[in-house]
Amino acid sequence: GAGVSQSPSNKVTEKGKDVELRCDPISGHTALYWYRQSLGQGLEFLIYFQGNSAPDKSGLPSDRFSAERTGGSVSTLTIQRTQQEDSAVYLCASSLWTGNQETQYFGPGTRLLVL
Amino acid sequence: DQQVKQNSPSLSVQEGRISILNCDYTNSMFDYFLWYKKYPAEGPTFLISISSIKDKNEDGRFTVFLNKSAKHLSLHIVPSQPGDSAVYFCAAKGAQKLVFGQGTRLTINP
């Protein structure tokens, strides 16, 4: 497809388990972002990849969260030892810069529920 | 430090009237601004943008206004339609990553 895809669309896990969330960005987009949206909250920035630069990890809430982007394309967000407060919608977005103008295109999100 | 703020968590407007969504920012280095719309169970979708060299950008029923001196932007939707009911996020960008506001839930009443 032409858009950003994410998998799985829904994930239910038990507290303490690890989860991996996947994002397939739009082909050719050099920037990739992960956000999460907790119930009733706004978009919380997690991590940002831009080309071959070191990722901006300033939004990761704890060291249980990590992400990688292989080959400048697919990205995986990993949450270790999940906690109930990790329950949220995890959104991935990719973008292409034109000068300093950047428009992000979002995937549908992964709904994570930690029991 | 919330660099982009949407101070109204919700807004209710009658169908056919004008909806005005507001956004304030603190970083004077921001020079590109966007609005996104989000329906439940979907990712946000791009709506309209404006560069800091302009003070207005119009696309159909949607107009974004930028007041740089006040560090304020607004989205006007006229006339409002029931399908406009969604959460609207403003976002701002400087040399680095996009920064999003908390969102405003717009409800259009028939």
pLDDT of B58-109, one tens digit each?
Answer: 999 999 999 999 999 999 999 999 999 999 999 998 777 788 899 999 999 9
Q: What is the pLDDT of residues A47-85, one digit of tens each?
A: 999 888 889 998 999 999 999 998 878 999 999 999 999
State the DSSP string of chain A. --S-EEE-SEEEE-TT--EEEEEEPPTT--EEEEEEE-TT--PEEEEEEETTSPPB-TT--STTEEEEEGGGS-EEEEE-S--GGG-EEEEEEEEEEETTEEEEEE---EEEEE-
Q: What is the rounded CA–CA span in Å between residue A105 and residue A86?
A: 23
- List CB contacts (< 8 A) between A103 and chain B: 34, 46, 49
What is the pLDDT at residue A11?
97
> Is the confidence at residue B1, as pLDDT, over 70?
no
Other Cβ atoms within 10 Å of A106 Cβ, number: 23
Q: Is B12 helix (H, G, I), strand (E, B) or coil?
A: strand
Q: In chain B, which residues have their Cβ closer than 8 Å to the Cβ of A95? A: 98
**Best interface-test mutation with A: which of B93, B98, B102, B104 has the largest number of A CBs within 10 A?**
B98
The half-sphere exposure of A25 on its side-chain side, counting CA atoms within 13 A, is 27
CB A94 within 8 A of CB A29: yes
The one-letter amino acid at B51: S
**Where residue A100 falls among pLDDT bands split at 50, 70, 90?**
low
Looking at beta carbons, which residues of chain B come within 8 Å of A106? 36, 43-45
Whether residue B34 lies within 8 A of chain A, CB to CB, comes out as yes
Q: How confident is the model at residue B12 (pLDDT cuts 50, 70, 90)?
A: very high
The radius of gyration computed from the CA coordinates of chain A, to the nearest angstrom, equals 14
| pLDDT over 80 (residue A98) | no
Using an 8 Å CB-CB cutoff, list chain A residues near B2: none
* A96, burial (CB in 10 Å: exposed 0-12, middle 13-18, buried 19+): middle
Nearest to B86 by CA among B102, B65, B108: B108
Mean residue pLDDT of chain B comes to 93
Q: Give the mutation candidate from A104, A111, A112, A113 for the B interface (greatest B CB count, under 10 A).
A: A104
Q: What is the pLDDT of residue B40?
A: 87
Does any CB of chain A come closer than 8 Å to the CB of residue B101? yes
Distance in angstroms (rounded) separating the CA atoms of residues A78 and A85 = 15
Please state the φ and ψ torsions of residue B29, each to the nearest 5 degrees.
-85, -10
**With 60 as the cut, is the pLDDT of residue B29 above it?**
yes
Report CB contact under 8 Å: B42, A109.
yes
Average pLDDT of the residues in A2-9: 93
* 8 Å CB contact of B43 and A100: no
How confident is residue A99, by pLDDT bands cut at 50, 70 and 90?
A: low
Stretch A33-45: mean pLDDT: 87
Helices (H), chain B: none
pLDDT, averaged across chain A = 91
Residue B32, chain A, CB below 8 Å: the answer is yes
pLDDT attached to residue A19 = 98
| A1 has pLDDT over 60 | no
Q: Determine contact: B1 vs chain A, CB below 8 A.
A: no
Tell me: pLDDT of A101 over 60.
yes
**Residue B58: other Cβ atoms inside 10 A:** 12
> Which whole number is the average pLDDT over B25-33?
92
